[in-house]
Structure 1
Amino acid sequence: MDEHDRDDDSGADRLRRARRGDEAAFESIYREHARAIHALALRLTGSPAAAEDITQDTFLRMFGFLSGLREDTPLRPWLKRVAANLAIDRLRRERRYSDDDALLQALDGNAAPATVAEASGLLRRLPPLARTLVWLHEMEGWSHEELARRFGRSPSWSKSILSRSLARLREHLEPAEDDDEHA
């Protein structure tokens, strides 16, 4: 048995022990996955406080659903799906995307971009809903149909928001024409 197989066995073993109420096993699972879940929640919400809440809620849900998880189910993708759904629910509760006209206007706005070195900085320039759609579609692999179902909209709505969001991100990445003329 190679090292990778032992890691898989220890993960399955930890899950079995956590199901039986072993707090150390649950803590080990938390330590292994919490940073990734928090990073996803922060990317989707743009709020450290919201990301903390979503991370906590994700693991509380996992704890409550341990008996329903199949042993062969990869845990991290399941946790990421739960966290993404919690972030979407939070957006809906806060009604931060209820006005489609305001969202589209924000995406089409011509605010002068400052130089941004990292993608997360760029994503924070998008409205919360747009940021969530971009991340879930481009990085987490959600289809337009999945996004539409989750947000209670049509796939064309998701495609439109994603297209405008990506165009806006490209604007932030491309050098201004004035800079090219003076070079």
Structure 2
Amino acid sequence: MGEPPGNQASETERLRRARRGDDAAFEAIYREHARAIHALALRLTGNNAAAEDIVQETFLRMFGFLSGLRDDTPLRPWLKRVAANLAIDRLRREHRLSDDQALAEAVDAAAPPATLAEADALLRRLPPLVRTLVWLHEMEGWSHEELAQRFRRSPSWSKSILSRALARLRAGLDPENEA
């Protein structure tokens, strides 16, 4: 979505200072990006504690990789990519990435909302993997090829899951479906 409010020149300078060991610069980077990274991790995992762990791990990885970060590249997209990958890994470890048949049944059986709800509430009704795919594709701009590579599946797998999930979300938003 939108980029952070700071400008690229000040972020570049903070990165340079952080590389030299300036704790205040690293803290400023954290303050500027942590909320957005937490929001993404929470949307992907649906769990606040997991989201906090992902934020911590994301910034630890950034700290360990400071020398490899290019000055001319915005930091937030890199941080979001790391956080998304950590969330996917966590879901995989927790065995919340179900097999294709169970996943298709879960998407098809998701209960429609009783009232028009915010998108976030609708997303929380989806199984973790489906929610992750929808968010990464629709909001973060990941392509089907990127999703397929990250999930070790085919692009058609991603397209199929997304098509069903988006149809389900649209049905949940349709006032005609309210009883």
The two structures share one fold, judged by TM-score above 0.5: yes
Report deviation, 1:113: 2.0
Q: Which residue of 1 aligns with 2:3?
A: none
Report deviation, 1:110: 5.8
Give percent identity, aligned residues only: 79
- Which has more radius of gyration? 1
Structure 1 segment 7-156 matched on structure 2, within 5 A: 7-109=7-109, 111-156=111-156
Higher relative contact order (CA 8 A, sep 6+): 2
Cα distance change on mapping 1:24 and 1:178 into 2, 3 Å: closer
Q: Which secondary structure state, in structure 2, belongs to the residue aligned with residue 111 of structure 1?
A: coil
Map Cα deviations across residues 139-174 of structure 1 (whole Å, 9 max, x no partner): 100000000000000000000000011011111101
* Distance across 2 between alignment mates of 1:75 and 1:39: 16
Report deviation, 1:178: 6.6
Answer yes or no: is the 8 Å Cα contact 2:110–2:125 preserved in 1. no
What RMSD over aligned residues (CA atoms) do the two structures have, in Å?
Answer: 1.5
Report deviation, 1:115: 1.8
Q: TM-score, normalised by structure 1?
A: 0.91
* Distance across 1 between alignment mates of 2:86 and 2:116: 28
Map Cα deviations across residues 30-51 of structure 1 (whole Å, 9 max, x no partner): 0000000000000111110111
Map Cα deviations across residues 124-152 of structure 1 (whole Å, 9 max, x no partner): 01000000000000010000000000000
Report deviation, 1:94: 1.1
Cα distance change on mapping 1:102 and 1:47 into 2, 3 Å: same
One-letter amino acid of the counterpart of residue 142, structure 2: W
Aligned length: 174
Answer yes or no: is the 8 Å Cα contact 2:130–2:165 preserved in 1. yes
Map Cα deviations across residues 82-116 of structure 1 (whole Å, 9 max, x no partner): 00000111111111123221111011116242224
One-letter amino acid of the counterpart of residue 160, structure 2: S
Report deviation, 1:60: 0.4
* Distance across 2 between alignment mates of 1:67 and 1:162: 37
Q: TM-score, normalised by structure 2?
A: 0.92
Q: Which secondary structure state, in structure 2, belongs to the residue aligned with residue 76 of structure 1?
A: helix
Q: Which secondary structure state, in structure 2, belongs to the residue aligned with residue 103 of structure 1?
A: helix
Report deviation, 1:176: 3.8
Answer yes or no: is the 8 Å Cα contact 2:33–2:76 preserved in 1. yes
Answer yes or no: is the 8 Å Cα contact 2:58–2:83 preserved in 1. yes
* Distance across 2 between alignment mates of 1:65 and 1:78: 11
